[in-house]
């Protein structure tokens, strides 16, 4: 219960202030032979394995660079999560293609599983 309350307070503080003490890293994922850019965001100063989240951008031209998504992702990471935001190129073209979105999610999950900062089995997709 205390951990959940701590994370909630961190989330609210980070969202309200717009400040999140996080580290961001650009990477690429292999989506069935196609290189897809992604951003990994994690809290600064934490070195133990943390839960991992895949956060998908919506069907929007700005993709993972959408300002509200960037703020939300940083805020989630500041609570003690490792977050990956993959680019879904088809969604940036306003063309929802579930047959391509699913492999994007799968390679994002795989990237989190291979990341030593991510706790085994503690993964979520949003």
Domain of residue 44, CATH code: 3.40.50.1820
Spatial contact of 96 and 59, defined as CB atoms under 8 Å apart: yes
- Which domain, by its residues, includes 58? 2-125
> Tell me: the pLDDT tens digits for 4-17?
767 766 766 767 67
Number of domain units in the chain: 1
Q: Are strands 50-54 and 34-43 parallel, antiparallel or unpaired?
A: unpaired
Predicted model pTM: 0.87
Question: How far is residue 92 from each of residues 57, 63, 79, 95, measured CA to CA in Å?
Answer: 9, 5, 28, 7
> Tell me: the pLDDT tens digits for 60-107?
999 999 999 999 999 999 989 999 999 999 999 999 888 888 999 999
> Tell me: the pLDDT tens digits for 27-68?
999 999 999 999 999 999 888 899 999 999 999 999 999 999
Spatial contact of 36 and 63, defined as CB atoms under 8 Å apart: no
DSSP collapsed to 3 states, the chain: CHHHHHHHHHHHHHHHHCCCCEEEEEEEEEECCEEEEEEEEEECCCCCCEEEEECCCCCCCCHHHCHHHHHHHHHHHHCCCEEEEECCHHHHCCCCCHHHHHHHHHHHHHHHHHCCCEEEEEEEEC
């Amino acid at each position: 219960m205390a951990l959940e309350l701590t994370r909630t307070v961190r989330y609210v503080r980070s969202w309200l202030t717009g400040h999140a003490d996080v580290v961001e890293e650009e990477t690429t994922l292999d989506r069935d032979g196609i290189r897809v850019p992604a951003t990994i965001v994690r809290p600064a100063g934490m070195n133990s394995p943390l839960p991992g989240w895949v956060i998908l951008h919506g069907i929007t031209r700005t993709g993972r660079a959408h300002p509200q998504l960037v703020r939300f992702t940083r805020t989630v990471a500041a609570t003690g999560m490792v977050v990956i935001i993959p680019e879904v190129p088809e969604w940036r073209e306003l063309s929802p293609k579930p047959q391509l979105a699913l492999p994007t999610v799968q390679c994002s999950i795989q990237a989190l599983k291979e990341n030593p900062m991510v706790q085994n089995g503690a993964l979520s997709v949003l």
